[in-house]
């Protein structure tokens, strides 16, 4: 039987290149590509009518690759696509092992979903793998080093085009917690790295797709945001799931700044279908945003909402009538204390948290700015924990004399601008 297979392989190898890019069709028969052997098809490759294809060695196809039969792939097997025109990959939910793209002329489009259990290589000067409406799943690891490894060097410009309804899905394993999603649209490479930080599960799946447009539920008053968002879905990740996302955007195509907004105002934000959440939202260089999700979310970059103090009725921070938004600031809001008012905030008993609020402070905001001519007072029974930014152009008085009255934590900032004053009484 082995000789029959070997003879068939040699026949394929030496005839197809000379047949004017002829197709190879396995019409209900059996084909075995043994270890060390290969099929090189300079045209289409079709496995149809319940054909049985077993790959232990290697298959290289310059045309379209279609599987409508049975496909069995050994862990060491490889499928390569190296066409000189656009190619279509239709594996009908089959699973292959190692997959390489060497088409430097045009994209490769999926016509069905399929799974890759080994390594994905975008060869030098390769083009994109376009998901369209189909899913590409990167399967379980063989070893820690080959868990759906993506080899994409600087010389390999190709990526997974995930701008349709199809998703790039990756298996999560408890010992491999950082997952790389080398995705973009048809023009821009905007990858995402997901670092799973908690969850009561040993294995699960995370899928992602993107849209090259501003999120439809973007706040109407946003002044700095991205015209790109990523949809993340989780499967079997258990309870207490949490993950940190790092997403890259294209500064020339994806960024919108209005008025005095600057790029650093665009931070990672996620949307659960009801409200925006800025947990751990950051803007990092070069042109990346970070944030934390705890479930299925849309993720993009935008500025935190700025709330302005009016002091319309009193000096009480937790009175909605004293804010231009008619709402009390949350840890996701930047706060501006302007000049020229009759009432300025006096914070009484409790904790004032800036940047983050791990100790459930009674007063909170993400960033505090005090304009020149404005004032801000914390009373003797108030404590401050700063994990964000305090910008002082005017005056800030701290009246609690206790040793722990004002804690300025790591990576936080207090900037006292020209003529500004911070006074401890």
Residues 265 and 346 grouped into a single domain: no
Residues 275 and 239 grouped into a single domain: yes
225-276, pLDDT tens digit by residue? 999 999 999 998 888 899 999 999 999 999 999 998 999 999 999 999 999 9
Last residue of a domain, one of 288, 303, 318: 303
Residues 178 and 298 grouped into a single domain: yes
DSSP H or E run through 13: helix 2-15
Cβ atoms of 105 and 125 closer than 8 Å: no
Cβ atoms of 247 and 190 closer than 8 Å: yes
Task: Name, in order, each residue with C-beta under 8 angstroms of 424's C-beta and a sequence gap of 6 or more.
Answer: 398, 401, 405, 406
Looking at residue 132, its pLDDT comes to 98
Cβ atoms of 183 and 190 closer than 8 Å: yes
Looking at residue 156, its pLDDT comes to 59
Looking at residue 136, its pLDDT comes to 97
Please tell me the pTM assigned to this model.
Answer: 0.85
Residues 212 and 275 grouped into a single domain: yes
Looking at residue 155, its pLDDT comes to 54
Looking at residue 114, its pLDDT comes to 97
Reduced to 3 states, what is the DSSP secondary structure of residue 264?
helix
Distance from C-alpha of 320 to C-alpha of 374, rounded to nearest angstrom: 20
* 364-384 core/surface letters (b: 16 or more CB in 10 A; e: else): bbbbbbbbeebbbbbeeebbb
Report residue 62 as tokens.
């310059």
CA geometry: angle at 28 spanning 22 and 32, to 5°?
75
Q: Is the dihedral of CA 89, 93, 94, 95 positive or negative?
A: positive
* 260-281 core/surface letters (b: 16 or more CB in 10 A; e: else): ebeeebbbbbbbeeeebbbbeb
Residues 254 and 384 grouped into a single domain: no
Reduced to 3 states, what is the DSSP secondary structure of residue 122?
strand
- From the number of C-beta atoms within 10 Å of its C-beta (0-12, 13-18, 19+), residue 56 rates as middle
DSSP 362: S
Residues 138 and 255 grouped into a single domain: no
Residues 195 and 325 grouped into a single domain: no
Q: 363 pairs with which residues across the strands?
A: 352
Looking at residue 157, its pLDDT comes to 74
**Can you list the residues of the chain whose pLDDT is less than 70?**
1-22, 140-156, 175-176, 202
Q: How many structural domains compose the chain? A: 3
Last residue of a domain, one of 267, 282, 303: 303
Say which residue the tokens 């960024």 belong to: 255
Residues 72 and 198 grouped into a single domain: no
Last residue of a domain, one of 115, 133, 158: 158
Pairing, β 297-302 against β 267-271: antiparallel
Residues 148 and 3 grouped into a single domain: yes
Looking at residue 12, its pLDDT comes to 44
Looking at residue 10, its pLDDT comes to 37
Residue 320 lies in domain: 306-424
Reduced to 3 states, what is the DSSP secondary structure of residue 321?
helix
Half-sphere exposure of 302 (CA within 13 A, CB side): 28
What is the phi/psi pair of residue 375, to 5°? -140, 160
Residues 152 and 175 grouped into a single domain: no
Cβ atoms of 133 and 112 closer than 8 Å: no
Residues 241 and 212 grouped into a single domain: yes
Reduced to 3 states, what is the DSSP secondary structure of residue 237?
coil
Residues 289 and 314 grouped into a single domain: no
């Amino acid at each position: 039987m082995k000789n029959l297979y070997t003879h068939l392989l040699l026949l394929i190898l030496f005839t197809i290149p000379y047949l004017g890019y002829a197709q190879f069709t396995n019409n209900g028969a059996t084909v075995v590509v043994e270890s060390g052997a290969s099929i090189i098809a300079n045209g289409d490759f079709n496995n149809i009518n319940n054909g049985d294809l077993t790959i232990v060695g290697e298959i290289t196809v310059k045309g379209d690759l279609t599987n409508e039969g049975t496909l069995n792939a050994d862990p060491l097997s490889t499928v390569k696509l190296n066409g000189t025109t656009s190619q279509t990959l239709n594996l009908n939910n089959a699973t292959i092992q190692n997959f390489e793209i060497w088409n430097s002329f045009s994209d490769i489009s999926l016509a069905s979903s399929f799974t890759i259990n080994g390594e994905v290589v975008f060869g030098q000067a390769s083009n994109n793998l376009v998901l369209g409406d189909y899913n590409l799943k990167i399967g379980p690891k063989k070893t820690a080093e080959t868990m759906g490894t993506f080899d994409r060097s600087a010389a390999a410009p190709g990526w997974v085009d995930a701008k349709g309804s199809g998703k790039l899905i990756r298996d999560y394993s408890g010992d491999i917690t950082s997952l790389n999603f080398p995705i973009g649209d048809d023009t821009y490479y905007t990858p995402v790295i997901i670092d799973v930080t908690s969850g009561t599960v040993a294995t699960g799946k995370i899928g992602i797709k993107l849209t090259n447009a501003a999120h439809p539920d973007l706040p109407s008053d946003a002044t700095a945001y991205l015209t790109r968002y990523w949809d993340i879905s989780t499967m079997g990740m258990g309870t207490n799931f949490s993950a940190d996302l790092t997403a890259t955007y294209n500064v020339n195509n994806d960024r919108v700044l209005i008025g005095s907004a600057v790029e650093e105002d665009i931070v990672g934000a996620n949307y659960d279908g009801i409200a925006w959440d800025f947990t751990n939202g950051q803007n990092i260089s070069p042109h990346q945003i970070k944030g934390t999700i705890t479930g299925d979310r849309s993720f993009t970059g935008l500025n935190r909402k700025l709330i302005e103090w009016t002091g319309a009725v009193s000096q009480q921070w937790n009175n909605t009538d004293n804010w231009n938004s008619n709402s009390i600031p949350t840890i996701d809001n930047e706060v501006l204390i302007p000049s020229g008012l009759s009432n300025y905030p006096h914070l009484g008993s409790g904790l004032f948290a800036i940047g983050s609020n791990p100790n459930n402070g009674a007063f909170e905001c993400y960033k505090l700015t005090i304009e020149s001519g404005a004032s801000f007072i914390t009373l003797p029974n108030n404590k401050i924990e700063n994990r964000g930014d305090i910008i002082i152009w005017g005056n800030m008085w701290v009246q609690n004399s206790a040793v722990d009255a004002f804690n300025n934590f790591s990576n936080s900032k207090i900037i006292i601008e020209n003529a500004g004053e911070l006074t401890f009484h």
